A = this chain, B = another copy of it.
Amino acid sequence: MTDASATVTPSQGFHEDGSPERLAIDTIRTLSMDAVQKANSGHPGTPMALAPIAYTLWRDYLRYDPETPDWPNRDRFVLSVGHASMLLYSVLHLAGVVEIGADGQKTGKPAVSLDDIRQFRQLDSKTPGHPEYRMTTGVETTTGPLGQGCGNSVGMAIAERALAAKYNRPGFNLFDHDVYVLSGDGDMMEGVSGEAASVAGHLKLSNLCWVYDSNHITIEGGTDLAFDEDVGKRFEAYGWQVIHVDDANDTAAFAKALDAFKACTDRPTFIQVHSVIGWGSPKAGSEKAHGEALGEDAVRATKKAYGWPEDAQFLVPDGVKEAFTAAVADRGKPAREEWEALFERYRQEFPAEAQQIDDLRHGKIADGWQEAVPSFPADAKGLASRDSGGKVLNALAPKIPALMGGAADLSPSTKTDIKGLPSFEPNNYAGQNMHFGVREHAMGSIANGMALSYLRSYTATFLVFADYMRAPIRLAAIMELPVVFVFTHDSIGVGEDGPTHQPIEHLATLRAIPGLDTIRPGDANEVAQAWKVALTHTHEPSVLVFSRQAIATLDREKYASAEELEKGAYVLGGAEEPEVILIGTGSELPMVVAAHEKLTAEGVKSRVVSMPSWYLFEKQDQAYRESVFPPAVTARVAVEQGGSMGWDRYVTSGGATITMSTFGASAPIAKLQEKYGFTVDNVVKVAREVMEKAK
């Protein structure tokens, strides 16, 4: 268990009180210092400052069974200050948290061993620079980009309230856990945390507690350089209970604050803790303690100040781990066991609900939902894909109890309300329609948190505002969370609202994110299949891109089935050995089909390909891909009311794109389509040009 034979005699340190508590706290501190020093990379100062906070929270409050870290009703601990990852790894080690494998089974290993800590920030280690969900058991969410953990925590707290409202019964408090966050000055400066805090205050999430580490230091220097607002007062304005703790080392005062959180039932709680970064080190209170190894001399000096053996590295004094693990487990294990017993009784009484909970835990949607996927008859007039999207969502929602989401104050436009169901509001946590307000960034971050707590979350806004929420979309992809991000008003089809509201580059920027399935369906039946694919994904987030304007519903007797969408791109119809391939997505598909029909009528051997998802297409084997785009046919035209970025891959240098090379303009859609060349005649013209070139 220990690295040094020395038994620590806690006596010499200038701030040493000889208590087992201090021994444990300084163990967290020195493990963090040693790991950063060995990696010669990382952030020692915040773990050193917040060790007493993490110790107190985990030892005396967190309801968590180290042997069952996937217990659904565990309290959540979110390290929004992800750069302080060694704080979390140290605690996971000392708490004796066991590892759960990708298959959901215990591996028999610790979540974080001392050897893992020695491998801090090394390739393929379980202790990467920032905590990564799925990589290390006990990491509840991937953090690092500031403010995101705060947003996630609001989603987790919402999920707890929603699950409690849905599944708890008299005598069966299945869901009653809390969500704790450690956050810092950076989190508080980021707008996303303010947005999320406003949502949490509005929703009166009394199961949510943010600890704010106010250390007066940022990377550029003191917070007085850029950050001297009254953060506590701001949180009061959001409707939170606000508590101040003057000294992070005062564990009794912090415990009292946590008691106040536990006692408060009508608001979230914000605990502002004043700390000294790099506490006890020669660099204490300085930005120099933030983002780099302290240096060997400073490490030794700090250990001396702690009354720690200066030469010992990765030292866990005898008894420290055992005592910490026991303290956490003594509270968490019986609670978890009671819960399991309760759940078994619940299963007897409410078998359907229990089955739903089992499904939630395993990220599974009960069979049969696929049959609810609607189909739409051919219709030349058609309907906007936002409208068909709304219909599909409403058809599926009753079959998928975990489905929950909403819009950033645009649901009448995005059509993402589940009709007839109430809103999720402080007076009704059984409501299912979320109102995120005009807060796209928090919406994405909250949706990720909901997904981390078993819900199939979705969000909605206009495509152009994807720019406001890219960080959480990217994190959903990194975490492999199957969140569905709906974006409507997806092109210059927005019309009169003009360039600020017309996406151009956005499809490319979403397609560029690894592990994200961006789907732009081309008619109502593709919309239905797009939702189906998105909900079938278990490890990928999806972006569903819908139009504002009507799209004809194709006659699927005449053209291939929309179920082919699952392959990403497919031949809708046309010649077996085409002279030219026309490719369309989304609202441009009818235009491309019309051009194809015109060319066919003119005797040209034309093929029309629908290409709703590059992501899915790239997953197909080469034979399939070449069956859609035969290499010999270089005369290809792609039509999309967005930028051209990336299309060269599919049209090749022999082909052409009809795309946008500038921002759009404010005008009725027909005028814009004419101006920018999105007409059947122009598609035909360009098709003939590339055919000429291919000769």
Binding site for B on A (CB under 8 A): 39, 41-42, 82, 121-125, 128-130, 132, 142-146, 185-186, 189-195, 198-199, 201-202, 218-220, 225-234, 236-239, 287, 291, 407, 409-413, 423, 425, 435-442, 464-465, 467-468, 470-471, 474-475, 477-478, 495-501, 504-505, 508-509, 511-515, 631, 643, 645-646, 648-649, 652-653, 660-663, 665-668, 671-672, 675
Residues of B within 8 A of A439 (CB): 189-191, 226
- Tell me if B132 and A498 are in contact (CB < 8 A): yes
Contact (A663, B121) CB under 8 Å given A226-B437, A231-B237, A508-B508? no
Residues of B within 8 A of A234 (CB): 234, 237-238
- Tell me if B238 and A128 are in contact (CB < 8 A): no
- Tell me if A501 and B123 are in contact (CB < 8 A): no
CA distance A465 to B190 in the complex (A): 11
Q: Which of A142, A464, A495, A514 has the largest number of chain B CB atoms within 10 A?
A: A514
- Tell me if B229 and A198 are in contact (CB < 8 A): yes
CA distance A468 to B505 in the complex (A): 16
Q: What 20 new A-B contacts, CB under 8 Å, besides A123-B665, A129-B666, A512-B512? A: A82-B500, A122-B666, A122-B668, A145-B464, A191-B194, A199-B226, A220-B407, A226-B437, A230-B236, A231-B237, A291-B413, A467-B470, A468-B470, A468-B471, A475-B500, A478-B663, A505-B509, A512-B643, A512-B645, A514-B662
**Which single member of B41, B193, B667 contacts A121 (CB below 8 Å)?**
B667
Residues of B within 8 A of A409 (CB): 186, 189, 218-220, 226
Q: Which of A130, A233, A438, A508 has the largest number of chain B CB atoms within 10 A?
A: A438
Contact (A195, B191) CB under 8 Å given A500-B82, A661-B514? yes
- Tell me if A496 and B666 are in contact (CB < 8 A): no
Contact (A675, B123) CB under 8 Å given A436-B226, A496-B42, A512-B645? yes
- Tell me if A218 and B437 are in contact (CB < 8 A): yes
Can you sample 17 A-B contacts with CB below 8 Å? A41-B668, A122-B668, A128-B666, A130-B500, A145-B500, A146-B438, A190-B191, A220-B435, A226-B437, A236-B237, A237-B237, A467-B471, A467-B474, A512-B512, A512-B643, A515-B663, A646-B648
- Tell me if A128 and B191 are in contact (CB < 8 A): no
When C-beta atoms are compared, the residue in chain B nearest to A184 turns out to be B438
CA distance A482 to B328 in the complex (A): 56
When C-beta atoms are compared, the residue in chain B nearest to A203 turns out to be B226
- Tell me if B239 and A229 are in contact (CB < 8 A): yes
- Tell me if B123 and A437 are in contact (CB < 8 A): no
Contact (A189, B185) CB under 8 Å given A228-B239, A514-B663, A645-B508? no
In the complex, the count of this chain's copies comes to 2
When C-beta atoms are compared, the residue in chain B nearest to A228 turns out to be B202
Query: Which 4 interchain pairs have the tightest Cβ spacing?
Result: A191-B191, A128-B666, A123-B667, A144-B500
Residues of B within 8 A of A226 (CB): 199, 202, 409, 435-437, 439
- Tell me if B505 and A514 are in contact (CB < 8 A): yes
Closest-CB distance, A659 to chain B (whole angstroms): 11
Contact (A144, B501) CB under 8 Å given A219-B410, A225-B435, A496-B121? yes
- Tell me if B229 and A202 are in contact (CB < 8 A): yes
CA distance A174 to B124 in the complex (A): 61
CA distance A435 to B226 in the complex (A): 6
Residues of B within 8 A of A124 (CB): 665, 667
Residues of B within 8 A of A201 (CB): 229
When C-beta atoms are compared, the residue in chain B nearest to A504 turns out to be B514
Residues of B within 8 A of A132 (CB): 498-500, 666
Residues of B within 8 A of A410 (CB): 219-220
CA distance A662 to B410 in the complex (A): 33
Closest-CB distance, A545 to chain B (whole angstroms): 15
- Tell me if B495 and A41 are in contact (CB < 8 A): yes
**Which single member of B237, B291, B648 contacts A229 (CB below 8 Å)?**
B237
